[in-house]
């Protein structure tokens, strides 16, 4: 089974989000840092732990990702519609929206950003 960030990245990359120029996992490549000409998302892990305990054994795994959207400086689309589509993408794939943080603006680049936290419970096979 893929790590949470890999699962989320594959899902985002397979979606047709016309407003999104790129998606990355764990960290941003150096050529992307500071670039305000593209809207990108950075997906990092915030949760990965056993869950659903019974008979002294866990029967599930709880995973979670942080998805941080960095909007390009000249936005030509509705950020609210983009965020609704983004959240629905995760929801349709069985992820739960843990948090949706307020928009922030970077003081240096003036770039608008938005952060979501998504979680998902995985059912795992019983170990022999």
- pLDDT > 90 fraction of the chain, expressed in percent and rounded: 79
Average pLDDT in the 58-66 region?
Answer: 94
pTM value is 0.92
Is residue 128's pLDDT more than 60? no
Question: d(Cα 67, Cα 92) in Å, to the nearest integer?
Answer: 16
**Distance between CA atoms of 117 and 67, rounded to whole angstroms?**
6
The confidence score (pLDDT) of residue 127 equals 61
Q: What is the mean pLDDT of residues 27-49?
A: 94
Can you tell me the distance from the alpha carbon of 42 to that of 36, in angstroms, rounded to the nearest whole number?
14
**Over residues 57-81, mean pLDDT:** 95
Q: Are strands 104-105 and 112-123 parallel, antiparallel or unpaired?
A: antiparallel
Assign residue 89 a region: left if phi > 0, alpha if psi is -120 to 50, beta otherwise?
alpha
- Tally of CA atoms within 13 A in the half-sphere of 2 that contains its CB: 10
Token pair for 11: 């899902």
79-122 pLDDT, tens per residue? 999 999 999 999 999 999 999 999 999 898 889 999 999 999 99
Q: Over range 42-47, report the average pLDDT.
A: 97
């Amino acid at each position: 089974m893929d790590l949470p960030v890999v699962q989320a990245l594959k899902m985002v990359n397979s979606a047709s989000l016309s407003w999104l120029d790129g998606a990355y996992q764990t960290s941003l490549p150096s050529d992307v840092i500071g670039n305000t000409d593209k809207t990108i998302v950075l997906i990092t892990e915030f949760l990965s732990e056993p869950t659903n305990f019974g008979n002294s054994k866990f029967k599930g795994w709880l995973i979670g990702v942080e998805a941080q959207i960095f909007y390009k400086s000249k936005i030509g689309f509705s950020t609210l519609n983009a965020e609704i589509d983004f959240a629905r993408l995760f929801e349709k794939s069985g992820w739960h929206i843990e948090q949706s943080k307020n928009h922030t603006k970077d003081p240096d680049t003036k770039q608008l950003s938005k952060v979501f936290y998504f979680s998902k419970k995985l059912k795992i096979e019983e170990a022999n």
